[in-house]
Amino acid sequence: MTDRPASPSVTRRSVLATAAAATATAASISTTFAPLMAAESPGGGAKRGFKIGVCEWMFGRGNPTSYDAAKEIGVDGMQLNMGNVANDMHLRKPEVQQAYLAAAKRTGLAVSSIGAAEMNNVPLKSDPRAAEWLHDSVDVAKALGVQVILLAFFAKGDLLNGKELDKAAVDHVVELLKREAPRAEKEGVILGIESWLNVEQHLHILDRVKSPAVQVYYDVGNMHLRGYDIYAEIRQLGAKRICEVHAKDYGHIFGQGKVDFKEVRKAFDDIGYRGWIQIEGATDKAKGQIETFKLDRAYLKEVFPADA
């Protein structure tokens, strides 16, 4: 997730139209938290496979109809955006949560995780509003039955000063994460840092927070763009410190660009990572977004199958 235009908010009409149905269906969507990224199932039996999702903000809709686009692409679920300043981070509102749960139920897709993209514009490192969103995001995740919350640190939220860590910014973020981590642990929720940081810089923050509830949300495209050895970084972080993954390859359909996803798979196998991989890819203008994402999904399903 990098800095993107704010999505339009969900309308009152769309919320009211689906909220009643959602009340009946939300209870049927499991809120059981399985061990994140472990190679084995919760019962210690068969291995968990990969699941392919897509990021809601790629569609620019900001309402539950994003699930219709996700359904057309053929993914397993969607990573929801908490919202923006204009809609008061609308995913915090029970009626909006219910509307999304109803759309997930209707399309047969999962709510895979949530992301606080607006932290790119309202930085956690300096704005009290973002600290409030961080706190509330744990409740949102619990209400939607998801484990992973993406915390974005790009644009205004960047934690780097040149190539080095911005000490004051990092100190403040660490304190906020320390404050929220115990509650996240209690609720079975992971706070995932997505940033421009390299592996050592990420580990510096994780080692200071000292909580299994704070991990790295790894974006292979972003890290490759920065010139990092993504295959080595994945192995260095390990499965216990990668909560979820964005699939991205700037300007390319997956499998035709610079990110070697087959090598990514080998790195995942080495550390035992299994779980969600979210499409946040570029669009081939000639093919259009949906057809491009269908190609991306088909490629990812081949490299990262559900039965792996």
In whole angstroms, what is the distance from residue 65 CA to residue 71 CA? 10
Query: Residue 23 carries which side chain, given as an amino acid letter?
Result: T
Is residue 259 in a domain?
yes
Is residue 20 in a domain?
no
Is residue 307 in a domain?
no
Is residue 48 in a domain?
no
In whole angstroms, what is the distance from residue 90 CA to residue 27 CA? 21
What average pLDDT is seen over the chain? 89
CATH code: domain of residue 291:
3.20.20.150
Q: Which of 192, 252, 202, 253 is nearest to 223 (CA)?
A: 202
Is residue 39 in a domain?
no
What's the pLDDT at 85?
A: 98
pLDDT band at 48 (very low <50, low <70, confident <90, very high): confident
Residue-range definition of the domain harbouring residue 292: 57-301
Q: At residue 38, does pLDDT exceed 70? A: no
Is residue 9 in a domain?
no
Q: Provide the domain count of the chain.
A: 1
What's the pLDDT at 298?
A: 98
pLDDT digits (tens, 9 = 90+) for 150-209: 999 999 999 999 999 999 999 999 999 999 999 999 999 999 999 999 999 999 999 999
Is residue 31 in a domain?
no
Share of the chain above pLDDT 90, in %: 84
pLDDT digits (tens, 9 = 90+) for 65-103: 999 999 999 999 999 999 999 999 999 999 999 999 999
Is residue 189 in a domain?
yes
